[in-house]
C-alpha cells in the first residue's frame, strides 16, 4: 500500500493531481464472499475460510478510507488536452414565411397532369395503331382488343378483331382517356419529387413497372387482350406515353404547395405576405 503524500505546493500549476490511493482490499472482500458461497456446495471449512477472508477485506478497506481517506499525487500534463470534435453540418433551406417546409416546395397543378395524360394518350394511341397497321393491316385491331374487356368471350378470330365496331370504339376510347388522365395526374404528383432526369425516370422506369404489373394480372382483366397482345409493341406504346406525358408536365409552370398562405398561392397581392418588388425597380 502506498503511503500518504501531500501535494507539492511549489510544483507548477496543473502538473499534479490528487487521486485516491490504489488498494486491493475490495478484491480480497469479493474473493472471501465467493469462497464462502462456493463452500455451500463443497465443505463448511471452505465457507469458514471465505468468511474469515471477507472479514479481513472489510477491515482493510475500512482503514483505507477512515479516519482519513488515503490519496496520492499523480503528475499530469501542464496544459489540459484539447479534444477536437468534428460535427456534421446540415444545410437548411431558407423559406420565407414557412416555419417547417414540406418538400417539394412547388408542385405541378392538376391541369398539368390532365394535359400530360391527354398528350400521352395521343402518343400511345398512335403507337398502338401503327402496330395494328403494320402487323394486321388494320388500325382497329388494337382498339377492338382494348374494348373487348367488356366481353367474356375469348374465341374471336383475327378478322373479327380487325373489323370496325362502333361499340368497341366507344368503350376503348372511354377506357383509354380515363386511364391516361389518371396516370397523367400521377406523373404530375411524382415528377416534382425527382430532382434529376424526371423525363428519363417517368418515360422509362414507370412504363417498365406498369408493363410488368399488367403482365401479371392481364389474364384476369382482359383474357382476349392477354392472348392477342404483343408485349414489345405494348411496351413501346407505354414508353411513348411516358415520354410525351412527362415532357408536357415538366413544361408547365409550378405552383406553391399548401404550406403557403392561400392568398400567395392564388397570386393575390397581399401586403406583408408577398415580397415587395417595387422598391427594387424604382429609380433612386
Please classify residue 202 by burial: count the beta carbons closer than 10 Å to its beta carbon, then call 0-12 exposed, 13-18 middle and 19+ buried. Answer: buried
- Would you mind telling me the total number of residues written for the chain in this entry? 284
Burial track 146-173 (b if 16+ CB lie within 10 A, e otherwise): bbbbeeeeeeeeeeebeeebeebeebbe
- What are residue 259's phi and psi, to 5 degrees? -75, -15
Percent of the chain at pLDDT above 90? 2
Measuring CA to CA, which residue among 18, 270, 213, 247 is closest to residue 116?
A: 247
Question: Average pLDDT in the 215-243 region?
Answer: 81
* 43-71 confidence digits (pLDDT tens): 888 889 889 998 998 888 888 888 788 88
Measuring CA to CA, which residue among 186, 191, 236 is closest to residue 211?
A: 236
Measuring CA to CA, which residue among 115, 17, 120, 21 is closest to residue 75?
A: 17
* 270-282 confidence digits (pLDDT tens): 454 445 444 444 4
- What are residue 18's phi and psi, to 5 degrees? -95, 120
- What are residue 226's phi and psi, to 5 degrees? -65, -30
Strands 106-107 and 16-20: unpaired
* 256-265 confidence digits (pLDDT tens): 776 655 555 5
Instruction: For residue 146, name the pLDDT band (cuts at 50, 70, 90).
Output: confident
* 156-172 confidence digits (pLDDT tens): 677 777 888 888 888 88
- Is the pLDDT confidence value at 218 over 70? yes
Helix spans in the chain (H): 25-39, 44-65, 110-135, 140-147, 158-162, 166-190, 198-200, 206-221, 223-228, 231-250, 262-266, 278-281
The whole-number pLDDT of residue 185 equals 85
> Around Cβ 114, how many Cβ atoms within 10 Å?
18
Amino acid at each position: 500500500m502506498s503511503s500518504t503524500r501531500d501535494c507539492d505546493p511549489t510544483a507548477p500549476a496543473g502538473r499534479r493531481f490528487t487521486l485516491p490511493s490504489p488498494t486491493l482490499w475490495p478484491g480480497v472482500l469479493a474473493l472471501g464472499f465467493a469462497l464462502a458461497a462456493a463452500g455451500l456446495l463443497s465443505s463448511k471449512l471452505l465457507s469458514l475460510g471465505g468468511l474469515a477472508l471477507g472479514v479481513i477485506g472489510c477491515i482493510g478497506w475500512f482503514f483505507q478510507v477512515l479516519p482519513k481517506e488515503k490519496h496520492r499525487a499523480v503528475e499530469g500534463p501542464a496544459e489540459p488536452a484539447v479534444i477536437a470534435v468534428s460535427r456534421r453540418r446540415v444545410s437548411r433551406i431558407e423559406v420565407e414565411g414557412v416555419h417547417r417546409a414540406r418538400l417539394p416546395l412547388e408542385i405541378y397543378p392538376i391541369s398539368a397532369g390532365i394535359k400530360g395524360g391527354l398528350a400521352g394518350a395521343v402518343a400511345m394511341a398512335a403507337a398502338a395503331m401503327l402496330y395494328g397497321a403494320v402487323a394486321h393491316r388494320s388500325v382497329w385491331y388494337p382498339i377492338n382488343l382494348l374494348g373487348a374487356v367488356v366481353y367474356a368471350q375469348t374465341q374471336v378470330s383475327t378478322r373479327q378483331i380487325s373489323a370496325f365496331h362502333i361499340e368497341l370504339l366507344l368503350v376503348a376510347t372511354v377506357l383509354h382517356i380515363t386511364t391516361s388522365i389518371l396516370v397523367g395526374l400521377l406523373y404530375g404528383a411524382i415528377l416534382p419529387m425527382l430532382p434529376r432526369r424526371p423525363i428519363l425516370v417517368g418515360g422509362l422506369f414507370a412504363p417498365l413497372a406498369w408493363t410488368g404489373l399488367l403482365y401479371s394480372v392481364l389474364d384476369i382483366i382482359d383474357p382476349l387482350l392477354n392472348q392477342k397482345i404483343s408485349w414489345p409493341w405494348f411496351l413501346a406504346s407505354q414508353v411513348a406515353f411516358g415520354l410525351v406525358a412527362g415532357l408536357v408536365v415538366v413544361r408547365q409552370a409550378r405552383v406553391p404547395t399548401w404550406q403557403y398562405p392561400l392568398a400567395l398561392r392564388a397570386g393575390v397581392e397581399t401586403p406583408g405576405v408577398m415580397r415587395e418588388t417595387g422598391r427594387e425597380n424604382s429609380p433612386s
